[in-house]
Amino acid sequence: MRLIVIGTEYTGKTTLIDALMEWGDRRGIHHHLDDHFSIPDRQFLSDADQTAMLAMPPAIKERFQRFQIYYHIDVLANHGDCLLGGMHIEEAIYGRRYYYPDNVFPIPYLRKVESQLPPDTILLLLMATPDVLRRRMIAAPHAYPIVPTGDIEAVSAEFAAEYQQSWIERKLTIDTSTLTDAQLLETCLSRVKPFLDTRDLLRWNAS
């Protein structure tokens, strides 16, 4: 399964991707996981590295993000089991808002990137109500938050719009507002099944 998970901060993207990784490992399905498209990278960097990444000039942030977006086109093509968090759609939204708001070297990530993705790629948009997102922000604040509380509605609308405009044909949405972490995983596994190919279905059923 090749899955790109997108959604406003605190909708549950990282929680779901990590759960899918663990679920697969228990069944002998080993996904390649990359959830480091937000600035700073939460997956591999030390605290000092994250601080340094935040301090980079906007032009360098844009260049770095552009390089890794295009690099991960090949990652997705070369891994039949791949989980990506955010990828090009998150970058298109967060980049112009928070990373390089003056549009340093604007790059048309979206449809150009999607035209090069494997045809079995699945796009999943996670959503939640603004009130729920604000409560989650207070209950479990991120070390390096990205979306201010006042931007939640606008950013959520941008994710929904990019999802609708996406050229990825296999796509679905999940509202996480009332779901526990376990329920989110089960909902995803159930809802994504119609988009799986024969190889994935055989392995899922065998496990």
Query: Domains in the chain, ordered, with CATH?
Result: 2-206 (3.40.50.300)
For residue 180, give the nearest of 141, 111, 132 by alpha carbon.
Answer: 132
For the entire predicted model, the pTM comes to 0.94
Tens digits of per-residue pLDDT, 32-89?
999 888 998 877 888 899 999 999 999 899 899 989 999 999 999 999 999 999 999 9
Instruction: Provide the residue type at 104 as one letter.
Output: V
Tens digits of per-residue pLDDT, 84-121?
999 999 999 999 999 998 875 555 667 889 999 999 99
| Residue 68 burial (10 A CB sphere; 0-12, 13-18, 19+) | middle
**Tokens of residue 171, six digits:** 């796509």
